[in-house]
Homo-oligomer: A and B are copies of this chain.
């Protein structure tokens, strides 16, 4: 009934150590030797779990994606209505992104470190961002907000702005806390009957 709980598997140790280093220093600045040294794992062990450093990065990103959704769902569970979930989510984002230990969004880091869109890790980042946008759009639709697709896109922009702000301004002048207010403003703008965005008349 217990399955190897005292010592986490080398794969998990690798991903955990690598993830911490990647978040703090970036994918390119962290060499596998450092990951191995800090995780106490042998080099051959790494290459039996992952074919290359890039694959380890991809595996880490997949895991981070799952962890993000777990965190996001937990944050949204506290609200009952779709609109409440949206607000709760952005309040949680604002709290997290303005906390000093937040290092930003690893998917942004992956998209920056691997600029070629065909790169597997870049693709994972794109898929993650699209999924987040989709989720926001779905909530907007469930909340009967006007132009849910446009709102989803706008909220996604705001979200990414908060993450990059968290990384840029770590302690000082961190603007990420304002993301919740901005999100509420956008939601409110799509709550009123008279449309502002979308196809009303302009653009």
Binding site for B on A (CB under 8 A): 24-26, 28-29, 87, 91, 103-104, 107-109, 111-113, 115, 117, 122, 125-126, 129-130, 133, 150, 153-154, 156-165, 167-173, 175-176, 178-182, 184-186, 188-190, 196-198, 202-203
| With A154-B181, A161-B161, A178-B150: A170-B26 Cβ-Cβ less than 8 Å | no
Least Cβ–Cβ distance between A181 and chain B, in angstroms: 5
Least Cβ–Cβ distance between A138 and chain B, in angstroms: 16
Across-interface contacts of A196 in B (CB, < 8 A): 181, 184-185, 188
Q: How far is the CA of A28 from the CA of B161 in the complex (A)?
A: 23
Partner of A112, one of B156, B157, B167: B167
A155 (CB) vs chain B CBs: closest residue: B182
A23 (CB) vs chain B CBs: closest residue: B115
For the A-B complex with A112-B167, A157-B175 known, give 12 more contacts whose Cβ atoms are closer than 8 Å: A25-B115, A26-B28, A26-B112, A107-B168, A117-B169, A126-B169, A130-B173, A154-B181, A154-B182, A156-B165, A157-B165, A157-B178
Across-interface contacts of A108 in B (CB, < 8 A): 112, 164, 168
Is the CB–CB distance between B161 and A156 below 8 Å? yes
Q: How far is the CA of A147 from the CA of B152 in the complex (A)?
A: 25
Is the CB–CB distance between B202 and A168 below 8 Å? no
Q: How far is the CA of A63 from the CA of B15 in the complex (A)?
A: 39
Q: How far is the CA of A196 from the CA of B188 in the complex (A)?
A: 9
Across-interface contacts of A24 in B (CB, < 8 A): 115
Across-interface contacts of A197 in B (CB, < 8 A): 178, 181-182, 185
A–B Cβ pairs within 8 angstroms, 17 of them: A25-B115, A108-B164, A117-B170, A129-B168, A154-B179, A154-B185, A156-B175, A157-B158, A157-B182, A158-B182, A160-B161, A160-B164, A161-B162, A161-B164, A164-B164, A184-B202, A186-B189
